[in-house]
Chains A and B, each alone.
Chain A
């Protein structure tokens, strides 16, 4: 019955929306319409300027251009947890036209096939030429966001730009000790030993910490120096696609055994922060400002920022990106990169009165005007077109508050389904980070990422049954080995036997079945 009425609405609206007269070529509807929206994300629990409750300036501009007004109907405003808000929305049974925000991929792909969301494949084909073109120009992405039934149910937030994290080193320490930037893993070892022993901070104490990280998981990036892997995506401990095109887990590979033995050795020798597991997110602040930390693996933009912040406090402070040292097998690899699709974006709920209008509205944000609006805010207010390039006004770039925070208040760069424009970020990237990005661009460092698979019900059941325990076991053993309680080489056979007993093979099997179905 619902299908029939859906078909009727589609029929009805297509005949209606043949434009009799359109004010702008971007007009989505003849007569202004209102659509309701759920939009929950960490920085705002609702589709409006937080606190003031005013509509976003970007939204007002979009109203003018399209004739569509979005009315906020966000569930779970009192929580900052977007998952929780989504569950609340679905459980309450009454859904707005548009459901968007942070981390919607999993729920949308789970409940879409059950009927909670409208499949977008045909709607996009028929009514959204700009989105269709994006899919055409970026093969593989549409498949990556599809649910197990082969349909996709949301338009994602599509980040732009390649690099995320990079290797950083205290160039001034290298200079003080008369050392060069390490080019391979052996040189890296020598540099770290020198950092540990030769007092590069010159305080007479042996208190330097050669390698540290804000997230303890970053210790695993060192695995790539011995040709093992730590993750296949921008999530820690994720599966990756191996050379034979099969999905496997990095922590079940022989390369991991040998690489981890080396990491454990470095930890035992004091080359890795002894407190890496408990120091937590402030460790970068603390170890850099106390002039103790020598090297890390962290985000380009935020980590470069310390040069400005600490330049006055620490004489000569120079913490810069350097190329990933070549591994034992001779490969330079930067394992982390920006993922091309995010699990954030927006979807059409099964209660949407007019899905065609909604998809046309979604398509607006993929037009040239829509993309500029969603990235830079309202033209003339926050930016101007200079020689065909969008350029932020000086008061935006020189403001005390970061450009992204300003954009969130404008309604730009928020988690609707849109295609990010890297020119937005480049304009306020610090000089040090720009140099680093240019350096990384001179080599082919990045590797393809695993963008996830959609499991069907049976596969999901197998995965849920075994994976959480497997993951727990892997991490337990990993930390134990690094901390030196247990020897990875000696324990390896027991370890792999236990993985098998805990269902590793079953998990790999269902993942690969789903992977085949989705990507081949």
Chain B
């Protein structure tokens, strides 16, 4: 720009420098500025304090204990008093076929969950959005939210009964078509579909609330002008609703990817059997059996730390990809 031959006034750089100096003179000092700002907006900062405390106490302070992943930990000696042993626990984990299998299962189950479970609440929200009958819509919504509020233990009980070979509804229906009953919960090949399906049934409704809220936030003027232009409801969904809620979808996706290794393991513990470990055993259930039941907290911490590192990498990757291609990101 400075090379523009027609430019007659003062050079841009000079203008900028001048403006900066003027600013410096007006604003007293950085400290005072922060002070002024705090004084003016103190209500907002006060509201921030509980969250910061929560983060410090429940998330940052426990990180101190993570060091036991590298120690031969004894509760009596305490975190600080236990001797360092380096990467021994990690070495033990990665030489354990069952840990590797659990890791593989975790990833596969999460991928299933992502593939089938993630689109479901979006579909539900879009469907609810198209329902015109108010009472029907409310009833349907309440029904699909319900399973979320039932405890996992009960859900597992329902699942076990539903898939029971003698009294279960699934096998009864198979029976109508002349098929032999299947003892589903002892068949490794059936575990993942049942688990992922249960998860969708339990959570899809509740998760759709976020998308319904996003849809409610879409400006009505967009739809009005679309109607004027003669768009069908199908076109409005594709051209207006989905693009408008895309940022929400992407943020949810990134969060979901970050939690990918957090398979709801209490449900797995309730549903799995040694007979289905082959496909059902995930990192968290492995940690539970090996670490907590066996009292090997240090080994469990090592497995947990590894889990967290993988989750961190996943979130970073998802965020970067999203930032590059869709310009939506968490940070």
A residues sitting closer than 8 Å to B (CB atoms) are: 83, 87, 90-91, 93, 106, 110-111, 114-116, 274-275, 277-278, 280, 464-465, 468-469, 472-473, 475-476, 478-480, 483, 485, 502
Contact = CB atoms under 8 A, between A and B. Distances in A.
Given A106-B295, A275-B164, A468-B289, 16 more contacts: A87-B75, A93-B78, A110-B74, A116-B76, A274-B166, A277-B185, A278-B273, A280-B160, A464-B294, A465-B92, A469-B290, A473-B98, A476-B278, A479-B186, A480-B275, A502-B97
Contacts, number: 68
Contacts of B165: 274-275
A468 B185 contact: no
B219 interface: no
B77 interface: yes
Contact of A278 (B92, B97, B164, B299): B164
Contacts of B294: 464, 468
A90 B75 contact: yes
B96 interface: yes
Given A472-B277, A476-B278, A275 B295 contact: no
A277 B272 CA distance: 10
Contact of A111 (B75, B166, B185, B281): B75
A479 B274 contact: yes
B183 interface: yes
A479 B294 CA distance: 22
Interface string B281-299: 1000000011000111001
Interface string B75-96: 1111000000000000010001
Interface of B: 74-78, 92, 96-98, 160, 164-166, 183, 185-186, 273-275, 277-278, 281, 289-290, 294-296, 299
A476 B295 contact: no
A16 to B, nearest CB: 30
A476 B77 contact: no
B97 A469 contact: yes
A406 B137 CA distance: 54
Contact of A275 (B75, B183, B274): B183
A69 to B, nearest CB: 28
Given A468-B289, A472-B274, A111 B76 contact: yes
Nearest to B99: A469
A147 to B, nearest CB: 13
A483 B183 CA distance: 9
A472 B75 contact: no
B290 A278 contact: no
Contacts of A280: 160
B50 to A, nearest CB: 23
12 contacts: A111-B74, A114-B76, A274-B166, A275-B164, A275-B183, A278-B185, A278-B186, A280-B160, A469-B96, A479-B274, A479-B275, A480-B275
A502 B185 CA distance: 27
Contact of B275 (A464, A468, A483): A483
Contacts of A464: 294, 296, 299
Closest 5 CB pairs of A and B: A479-B275, A475-B274, A111-B76, A476-B274, A479-B274
A478 B185 contact: no
